[in-house]
Structure 1
Amino acid sequence: MEPSSPVLAAYSYCEAVTGLQARNFAYGIRLLPADKRRAMSALYAFSRRVDDIGDGELAPDAKLARLEQTREVLALVRAGEVTEDDTDPVAVALGHAATVFPIPLEGLDELIDGVLADVRGEEYETWDDLKVYCRCVAGAIGRLSLGVFGTVPGARDAGRAPEYADTLGLALQLTNILRDVREDADNGRTYLPAEDLAKFGCSAGFHGPVPPAGSDFAGLVHFEVRRARALFAEGFRLLPMLDRRSGACVAAMAGIYHRLLGRIAADPGAILRGRVSLPGREKAYVAVRGLTGYDARQTARGRRP
C-alpha cells in the first residue's frame, strides 16, 4: 500500500538529503524500486544526522549531548511512537521504513557509538581495535541495508548474509580511511592502527603532501590496500544472495569504492596531495554495469570491477 501523503513528504525530504550529500550512495540506490529506495534514503538521512553532529563545530560536551538526544529519537522510532504528523521528517520516514522492512535498528545505535568514539578522540593500536570502530560506523550500515534488501529465497549460505554485509562495510570504511588520511590528520584524527604506522615508519603522522621523512609510506598504503581487497573479496559473496536490483545497488556502491581503492594503490602519494575521487561519468558507468549484472558477476568471483 502506498504511504500516506505526510509519510511520502518525509521520504521526499530524506531523498533530497541523500541526493545532495551522498553522491556515491545515491548512484547505487537509484537502481532500487521505490519502496526500497525510500527506505535507504531514510537510513542515510538519519546516519547523516549522526555524522554531522560528530563532524560539526560544537564543543565535545555539546556533541555528546546531541548524540544522546539523537539516540532518544531512535528509541522512539524503535518503540513505534513517532506519528506521521511528527515535525521530524527523518524520524517519520525511518519509522515507516521499519514497519515495511525488517530493519535491525540497533545498528543505528552502533553508529552513534562509533561517532561517540570520534568525539572522544579515540585512536586504535591494532587492526582488531579498528575493526570494532569500523563495524560500528560502516558494518552496521551494511547490516541495516540488508534489512531493506533481503535475500532471495533459497540463496545458498543466506544465514551468512549479515556477516558478508558487515564485512563489505568494513572494506568501504577502510577505503574511506585511506582516502581521507591527510584530511583526518589535519583535523587531529588518526584512524590507521598505530602498530601499522610504526611498522612503516609513519608514526609521525601526515600533515603535508610529503610522507614522513624516512618512512615507507607506499608500503603502508599497499599493506592497507591488500587488507581492504581481502575484505571486498569476502564481502562480495553477498551479491549472489540478493535480487537483481538490490545486487545492482550494492555492486554499484561497492564497485565505486573498489575502483577508488585501485586508484589509491596505483598512486599512494595522491592521498597526501588531495582528495582522490572518481569522475561522475565513471561512477555512472559502474552503476550501469551493476544493473546489467556484469559487475556483480565479476566481483562475486573476486575479480576487479
Structure 2
Amino acid sequence: MTSGVAAPRVAAGELDAAGITAPALRGAYARCRALNAAHGRTYFLATRLLTPAQRPAIHALYGFARMADDVVDTPGAASTAEVVARLEEVRARMRVALAGTTDGERLLTEEPVVAALADTVERYGIPHRHLEDFMDSMAMDLTVPDYGSFDDLGVYVHGSAAVIGLQVLPVLGTVVPRAEAEPAAAALGVAFQLTNFLRDVGEDLDRGRVYLPGDELAAFGVDRELLLWCRARQRNDPRVRRALAHLVARTRAIYRRAEPGIELLDPVSRPCVRAAAVLYGGILDEIVAVDYDVLAHRVVVGNGRRAAVAGPGLVRAVLARRRPGRRHRP
C-alpha cells in the first residue's frame, strides 16, 4: 500500500493513463481506489502489477462489490427486512446508473462508487447481467444460512465469485476471443471465493452462515453444531481437520483448472493474475500450516511472502509492457 503522501500522486497518474479527466469522475475513482487499498490487501497488491491505465477500472469493480458486501455484512441493529431494502436500493441505483438515465452530476456527488462502476462498465463493455448476478448472490446472504451440496453452493458462488472473474476479463484483455478465456476466469474467481470460505469459517459462523457444503462436511462427521462447539471453545477437532483438508484439496484442484487461463490473457495482465493466484493459494498453505485450526485463528499471508511474490511479479510486469503484444478486441 502506498503512503498517504504518495497515494494521491499515484492515483492521479493512474487516472491520467486511463484517460479519466473530469474532476468529479476522478474523485469517484479515487474513492474506489481507497476502498480497495483499505480492504482488499491481496487484490490491491496484485492490482499494482497491472498497467496504470487498467487499475482504475479494477478499483471501480472492487469498490462496488465492497459497498454491496458491506450492506450485507455490517447491518448494525437493522432487521433482515431493512437490510434487504437497503440492498435493493443499491441495486436500483446501479440499474439507473448503468442505464445512463440519471443526472450525472448528482450521481457523482451522491453515489461516487456507483458512478465509477457505470463508467467502467461502459468503457469496457461489461455485460450488465454480471452485475445482476452479483446482486442476486448478495441477496442470498440475507436468506440462505447454509448449503447442502457443492451444486447448491455453485448457485451462490456463480454470482459472488465467477462473475467477478468475468467482469474483470475485459479490463485484463485476452489474446484469444473473450469467450475462450471466460471458463478459466470464472474458475479462478470461484477458487478465490472458496479460499475465503475456508479461511473465514469462524467469522462466517459468527454471522450465522456456513458456506462449506453440508454433504461434504457430513462425510467426515461434521455439522454446524460441531463447528459452533469448536468456535466457542477455540478448539479444533480431528473430524473438522479432515473435512477441511478435503476441501482444501478440492479448492487446489480448481486453481489448477484455472491456471491455463492465465496464458490466454494479455501479456501485460498475466503477472497480476498470476500473483493473485499465488497469494491466494498461499492462504491455503497457511491453513495447512496451522493444522486447519481456522476456528481459533484467522490465517493471513505474511508480508514477507507478499513481497517475495510481488517483487518478481513487478519485474515480469515491466518486461511485458515493453514487449509488443497481441490483444484480441471483439
Please report the TM-score for the alignment, with normalisation by the length of structure 2. Answer: 0.82
Q: Distance in 1 between matches of 2:33 and 2:61?
A: 10
Q: Which runs of 5+ in 1 are unaligned?
A: 295-305
Local SS of the residue matching 2:269: helix
Question: Match for 1:11 among 29, 40, 47?
Answer: 29
Q: Distance in 1 between matches of 2:20 and 2:91?
A: 29
1:24 corresponds in structure 2 to: 42
2:127 corresponds in structure 1 to: 104
* One-letter identity of the residue aligned with 1:247: R
Q: Is the Cα contact below 8 Å between 2:245 and 2:292 reproduced in 1?
A: no
Q: Distance in 2 between matches of 1:118 and 1:103?
A: 24
Question: For residues 23-102 of structure 1, what are the structure 2 equivalents within 5 Å?
Answer: 23-56=41-74, 57=76, 58-85=78-105, 86=107, 87=109, 88-102=111-125
2:12 corresponds in structure 1 to: none
Q: Is the Cα contact below 8 Å between 1:201 and 1:216 reproduced in 2?
A: yes
Q: Distance in 2 between matches of 1:27 and 1:141?
A: 17
Identity of aligned residues (%): 34
Q: Distance in 2 between matches of 1:219 and 1:17?
A: 36
1:290 corresponds in structure 2 to: 313
Q: Do residues 188 (structure 1) and 211 (structure 2) align?
A: no
Deviation at 1:102, TM superposition (A): 2.0
Question: For residues 195-206 of structure 1, what are the structure 2 equivalents within 5 Å?
Answer: 195-203=215-223, 204-206=225-227
Q: Distance in 1 between matches of 2:41 and 2:262?
A: 22
Local SS of the residue matching 2:21: coil
Q: Distance in 2 between matches of 1:290 and 1:228?
A: 23
Please report the TM-score for the alignment, with normalisation by the length of structure 1. Answer: 0.89
Cα distance change on mapping 1:122 and 1:39 into 2, 3 Å: same
1:297 corresponds in structure 2 to: none
- What is the aligned residue count? 289
Q: Is the Cα contact below 8 Å between 1:244 and 1:291 reproduced in 2?
A: no
Q: Distance in 1 between matches of 2:315 and 2:253?
A: 25
* One-letter identity of the residue aligned with 1:211: N
Deviation at 1:105, TM superposition (A): 3.0
* One-letter identity of the residue aligned with 1:160: E
2:258 corresponds in structure 1 to: 235
Local SS of the residue matching 2:127: coil
2:154 corresponds in structure 1 to: 131
1:226 corresponds in structure 2 to: 249
Q: Do residues 169 (structure 1) and 157 (structure 2) align?
A: no
Question: Match for 1:150 among 163, 167, 173?
Answer: 173
Q: What is the CA deviation profile of residues 77-99 of structure 1, one whole-angstrom value per residue up to 9, with x for unaligned ones? A: 22123554222111221122122
Q: Distance in 2 between matches of 1:108 and 1:99?
A: 13
* One-letter identity of the residue aligned with 1:106: R
* One-letter identity of the residue aligned with 1:121: V
Q: Is the Cα contact below 8 Å between 1:105 and 1:144 reproduced in 2?
A: no
Q: Distance in 2 between matches of 1:17 and 1:166?
A: 23
Q: Which runs of 5+ in 2 are unaligned?
A: 1-18, 318-330
Q: Is the Cα contact below 8 Å between 1:200 and 1:217 reproduced in 2?
A: yes
* One-letter identity of the residue aligned with 1:217: V
Deviation at 1:11, TM superposition (A): 0.8
Aligned alpha-carbon RMSD (Å)? 1.9
* One-letter identity of the residue aligned with 1:140: V
Deviation at 1:107, TM superposition (A): 1.5
Q: Distance in 1 between matches of 2:33 and 2:104?
A: 17
Deviation at 1:60, TM superposition (A): 0.7
* One-letter identity of the residue aligned with 1:195: D
Q: Distance in 1 between matches of 2:189 and 2:20?
A: 31
Q: Distance in 2 between matches of 1:280 and 1:245?
A: 24
Deviation at 1:3, TM superposition (A): 2.8
Local SS of the residue matching 1:229: helix
Deviation at 1:238, TM superposition (A): 1.5
2:235 corresponds in structure 1 to: 210
Deviation at 1:145, TM superposition (A): 0.8
1:118 corresponds in structure 2 to: 141
Q: Distance in 1 between matches of 2:185 and 2:167?
A: 9
Local SS of the residue matching 1:33: coil
Deviation at 1:12, TM superposition (A): 1.0
Deviation at 1:25, TM superposition (A): 1.1
* One-letter identity of the residue aligned with 1:254: A
